[in-house]
C-alpha cells in the first residue's frame, strides 16, 4: 500500500487518461472485407480476454457499423441477454472470475467513416489504408483502444482483384476467392497497441532491401509504394532504410517484429509508426518531400512507441521525443557531430518559437510542461513539447551522464519493457540505475516544469580575478533550473559551473586580464538561451 501511495504521488508516474482498462485483451482476430466500390465494409473481430474484475467487458465500435451477430465465451451463436449496445459501446456482462479467459466475437457491417480511409490516391487509383492514431481504430473494428492494453493480432483482409495487402507481422498466405478477389492473412506474434493494428491495400509495388552489416538473421525490409513513386522511394528516402534498422538494432537491441514494411499510404499524418508496417502520407511522395530523417524517425518508433509503449497518452514524449532524438542520432551517425548539433539547434528553435507569415512568435506550447495532465485533446499532444523538447530531454541527459551510461540505460530500458508499457517514472528509474545516481531531480525538472532556462551572464574583472554572475531571467512561473557542469569557454579555456537557483556567483582567480570572449554551452548540451555582457 505504501508503494502504491508513493507511486501515486510521483509526478513522473501520473496517469491522466480517463480510460483505464479493466480487462486485459490478449489477442485480436480481425477480418475485414474492402468493397470494390463505396465504403461499406464487412467485418468480424474476436477478442480473447483475461478477466480483470466483475465489470462488463466493453468494446467500442462506430455507430455507423451495425452489429449483425455477437457472442461471448467462444460461442458463435447469439443468445438474448448475452450482450448489449448503447451508442458506440458494446458490453458483454459476465460472471467469470478474475484471471479467467473469455472470448468475445462481433460481426458487423456498414459505411466506414474514419480510421480506415477508402478512396483514391493522387493518381486516381482506389486504395484503402487504416489510420488509427490515437484512438480511431474503433471506426472500423471493435476494440478496447488504449495504449496500455497491448495484444497479439491476426488480420485477414479481403481486397479487390489486382490489389496487394499489407498488415502487421508475417504473411501467412493468400487465398484467391470467387470473382478474382483475394484474401491476405497476416499474423503478429508480439503484443502491440490497438492503434498499431492496421491493414493497407491497393495497386502497390513491393521492393526488398537489404542492409550491409546486419546481424543474422537480417530483418526483412521492404518498400511498398504506388507504381508511379516506386523508383523515387527506393532510390531516395528509403535507399538506406535497411541500414537504419541495422544501426538501431546495434544501438538499442533486437528489432521487435518479424519484418518491416515502409508503405506509401493515405494517412493524414506524415508518418504512422504501425508495428512492422509504417504508413507514410502519399503527399510527401507526390511533392518529393519524403526524407530519410522521416524514415529514421518512424523506424525508431518500432523500438520506442511500438516495442515499448507509453502506459498513458500524456507520456507521449516516451514515443515522439525518443523517435525525434534517435532520428537526430542517425544524422550524427552519417554526418558527424556537426550534423547532430545542427539538428538539435533546429529542434531548439522550434521549442523557442513558431513562425508564420508575419514572422516569429514565442511558442505557446512551451508555457506548458511536457507531462501536461490538464491536456484533454489527444491530437493536441502532437506538439513541440513531445517532439523536439522531448528529444532535448534525452540529449541533455546524455550530456549529463555521458555516452556510456546513457546508451547502457537505453538498452536496459528497451530490454526491460519490450512488448510492454512504461511511464516516465520507469524510464527515470532505469537511467538512474545506469548512471549510478538518482536522476529524479532531473526528470522532474525536464518533464514537469514549463519553459527553459534563460541565462544572463555578467562578468567583471579586477586585480584578484574574474567574477561571474549568472542570473536565470526566464518567467517566474517556469521556475528555476539546475544546470550542473554547465560549460563556459573563456578565451579558449573551459570552465564547468554548477548553476543552481536564480543567481549563481563564480569567482575565477586564474585569469590575468579581462576576457575577450565568453561562450555559454558551446557544445549545446542544454536547451537554453543566454546573453553575455560586462557588468555595469
Q: How confident is the model at residue 250 (pLDDT cuts 50, 70, 90)?
A: very high
User: Looking at the chain, which residues constitute the CATH 1.10.390.10 domain(s)?
Assistant: 310-448
Res 211 pLDDT > 80? no
pLDDT value, residue 214: 72
Res 410 pLDDT > 90? yes
Res 50 pLDDT > 90? yes
Q: Where are the alpha helices (DSSP H) in 377-479?
A: 390-401, 403-417, 424-435, 440-448
pLDDT value, residue 78: 52
Cα separation, 306 vs 222, whole angstroms: 19
Please tell me the CATH superfamily of domain 23-197, with its number. Answer: tricorn interacting facor f3 domain (2.60.40.1730)
pLDDT value, residue 77: 56
Report percent pLDDT > 90 for the chain: 91
CA 263, 268, 271, 277: dihedral to nearest 10 degrees?
-40
Residue range 360-400, pLDDT digits in tens: 999 999 999 999 999 999 999 999 999 999 999 999 999 99
Cα separation, 197 vs 151, whole angstroms: 10
Res 8 pLDDT > 90? no
Res 3 pLDDT > 70? no
Exposure on the CB side of residue 533, measured as CA atoms within 13 A: 7
Q: How confident is the model at residue 149 (pLDDT cuts 50, 70, 90)?
A: very high
Query: What interhelical angle do 337-352 and 390-401 show, nearest 10?
Result: 130
Res 6 pLDDT > 50? no
User: Looking at the chain, which residues constitute the CATH 3.30.2010.30 domain(s)?
Assistant: 204-287
Residue range 425-477, pLDDT digits in tens: 999 999 999 999 999 999 999 999 999 999 999 999 998 999 999 999 999 99
**Once rounded to an integer, what is the mean pLDDT over residues 521-525?**
97
**Once rounded to an integer, what is the mean pLDDT over residues 92-118?**
95
CB 56 within 8 A of CB 90: no
Structural Rg of the chain based on CA atoms: 26
350 C-beta neighbours (distance < 10 Å), count: 16
Of 493 and 7, which is predicted with more confidence?
493
Residue range 67-104, pLDDT digits in tens: 999 998 865 555 556 899 999 999 999 989 999 999 99
Q: How confident is the model at residue 359 (pLDDT cuts 50, 70, 90)?
A: confident
pLDDT value, residue 4: 46
**Once rounded to an integer, what is the mean pLDDT over residues 330-358?**
95
Q: How confident is the model at residue 263 (pLDDT cuts 50, 70, 90)?
A: very high
Cα separation, 295 vs 495, whole angstroms: 39
pLDDT value, residue 510: 87
Residue range 168-194, pLDDT digits in tens: 999 999 999 989 999 999 999 999 999
- Dihedral angle sign, alpha carbons of residues 238, 242, 247, 251: positive
Res 489 pLDDT > 70? yes
**Once rounded to an integer, what is the mean pLDDT over residues 266-295?**
96
CATH, domain range 204-287: 3.30.2010.30
Res 217 pLDDT > 90? no
CATH topology of domain 454-534: Immunoglobulin-like (2.60.40)
Cα separation, 130 vs 112, whole angstroms: 11
Q: What is the DSSP string of 200-222?
A: EEES-EEEEE--SSPPSSPPPEE
Report percent pLDDT > 70 for the chain: 96
Mean pLDDT of the chain: 95
pLDDT value, residue 215: 64
CATH, domain range 310-448: 1.10.390.10
Res 5 pLDDT > 50? no
Pair type for strands 503-508 and 465-472: antiparallel
What does the block give as the cell for 353? Answer: 518559437
User: Looking at the chain, which residues constitute the CATH 2.60.40.1910 domain(s)?
Assistant: 454-534
Burial-class residue 86 by CB neighbours within 10 Å (0-12, 13-18, 19+): exposed
CB 442 within 8 A of CB 431: no
Res 340 pLDDT > 70? yes
Res 153 pLDDT > 70? yes
pLDDT value, residue 259: 97
**Once rounded to an integer, what is the mean pLDDT over residues 228-241?**
96
CA 306, 196, 106, 85: dihedral to nearest 10 degrees?
90
pLDDT value, residue 261: 98
Pair type for strands 116-120 and 126-130: antiparallel
pLDDT value, residue 166: 98
Cα separation, 364 vs 380, whole angstroms: 12
Q: Where are the beta strands (DSSP E) in 61-169?
A: 66-72, 84-86, 89-92, 101-111, 116-120, 126-130, 150-159, 164-167
Q: How confident is the model at residue 300 (pLDDT cuts 50, 70, 90)?
A: very high
Composition of the chain by helix, strand, coil, percent to 5: 30, 35, 35
Cα separation, 530 vs 536, whole angstroms: 18
**Once rounded to an integer, what is the mean pLDDT over residues 126-149?**
98
Contacts of 65 (CB under 8 A, 6+ apart): 41, 43, 108, 109, 110, 112, 140
Cα separation, 383 vs 320, whole angstroms: 9
User: Looking at the chain, which residues constitute the CATH 2.60.40.1730 domain(s)?
Assistant: 23-197
Of 409 and 178, which is predicted with more confidence?
409
User: Hey, which residues does 60 pair with through a beta bridge?
Assistant: 89, 143
Amino acid at each position: 500500500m505504501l508503494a502504491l501511495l508513493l507511486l501515486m504521488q510521483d509526478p513522473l508516474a501520473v496517469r491522466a487518461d480517463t480510460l483505464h482498462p479493466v480487462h486485459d485483451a490478449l489477442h485480436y482476430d480481425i477480418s475485414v472485407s474492402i468493397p470494390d466500390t463505396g465504403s461499406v465494409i464487412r467485418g468480424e473481430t474476436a477478442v480473447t480476454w483475461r478477466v480483470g474484475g466483475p465489470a462488463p467487458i466493453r468494446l467500442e465500435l462506430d455507430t455507423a457499423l451495425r452489429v449483425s451477430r455477437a457472442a461471448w465465451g467462444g460461442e458463435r451463436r447469439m443468445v438474448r441477454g448475452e450482450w448489449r449496445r448503447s451508442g458506440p459501446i458494446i458490453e458483454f456482462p459476465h460472471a467469470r472470475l478474475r484471471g479467467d479467459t473469455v472470448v468475445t466475437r462481433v460481426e458487423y457491417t456498414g459505411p466506414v467513416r474514419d480510421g480506415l480511409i477508402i478512396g483514391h490516391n493522387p493518381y486516381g487509383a482506389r486504395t484503402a489504408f487504416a489510420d488509427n492514431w490515437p484512438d480511431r481504430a474503433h471506426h472500423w473494428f471493435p476494440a478496447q483502444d488504449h495504449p496500455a492494453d497491448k495484444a497479439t493480432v491476426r488480420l485477414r483482409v479481403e481486397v479487390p482483384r489486382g490489389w496487394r495487402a499489407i498488415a502487421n507481422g508475417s504473411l501467412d498466405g493468400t487465398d484467391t476467392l470467387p470473382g478474382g478477389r483475394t484474401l491476405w492473412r497476416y499474423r503478429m506474434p508480439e503484443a502491440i497497441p490497438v492503434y498499431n493494428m492496421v491493414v493497407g491495400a491497393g495497386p502497390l509495388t513491393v521492393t526488398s532491401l537489404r542492409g550491409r552489416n546486419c546481424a543474422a538473421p537480417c530483418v526483412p525490409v521492404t518498400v511498398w509504394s504506388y507504381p508511379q513513386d516506386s523508383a523515387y522511394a527506393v532510390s531516395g528516402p528509403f535507399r538506406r532504410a535497411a541500414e537504419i534498422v541495422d544501426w538501431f538494432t546495434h544501438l538499442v537491441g533486437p528489432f521487435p517484429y518479424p519484418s518491416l514494411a515502409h508503405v506509401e499510404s493515405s494517412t493524414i499524418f506524415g508518418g504512422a509508426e504501425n508495428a512492422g508496417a509504417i504508413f507514410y502520407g502519399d503527399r510527401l511522395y507526390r511533392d518529393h518531400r519524403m526524407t530519410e530523417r522521416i524514415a529514421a524517425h518512424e523506424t525508431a518508433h518500432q523500438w520506442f512507441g511500438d516495442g515499448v509503449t507509453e502506459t498513458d497518452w500524456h507520456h507521449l514524449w516516451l514515443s515522439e521525443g525518443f523517435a525525434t532524438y534517435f532520428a537526430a542520432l542517425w544524422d550524427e551517425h552519417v554526418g558527424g557531430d556537426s550534423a547532430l548539433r545542427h539538428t538539435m539547434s533546429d529542434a531548439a528553435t522550434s521549442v523557442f518559437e513558431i513562425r508564420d507569415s508575419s514572422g516569429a512568435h514565442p511558442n505557446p506550447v512551451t508555457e506548458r510542461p511536457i507531462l501536461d495532465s490538464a491536456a484533454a485533446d489527444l491530437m493536441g499532444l502532437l506538439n513541440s513539447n513531445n517532439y523536439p523538447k522531448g528529444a532535448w530531454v534525452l540529449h541533455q541527459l546524455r550530456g549529463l551522464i555521458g555516452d556510456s551510461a546513457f546508451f547502457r540505460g537505453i538498452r536496459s530500458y528497451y530490454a526491460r519493457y519490450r512488448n510492454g508499457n512504461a511511464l516516465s517514472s520507469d524510464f527515470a528509474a532505469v537511467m538512474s540505475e545506469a548512471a549510478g545516481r538518482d536522476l529524479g531531480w532531473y526528470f522532474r525538472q525536464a518533464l514537469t516544469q514549463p519553459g527553459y532556462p534563460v541565462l544572463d551572464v555578467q562578468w567583471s574583472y579586477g586585480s584578484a580575478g574574474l567574477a561571474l554572475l549568472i542570473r536565470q531571467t526566464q518567467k517566474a512561473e517556469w521556475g528555476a533550473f539546475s544546470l550542473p557542469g554547465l560549460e563556459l569557454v573563456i578565451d579558449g579555456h573551459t570552465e564547468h559551473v554548477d548553476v543552481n537557483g536564480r543567481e549563481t556567483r563564480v569567482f575565477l582567480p586564474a585569469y590575468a586580464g579581462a576576457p575577450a570572449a565568453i561562450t555559454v554551452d558551446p557544445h549545446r548540451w542544454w536547451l537554453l538561451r543566454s546573453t553575455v555582457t560586462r557588468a555595469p
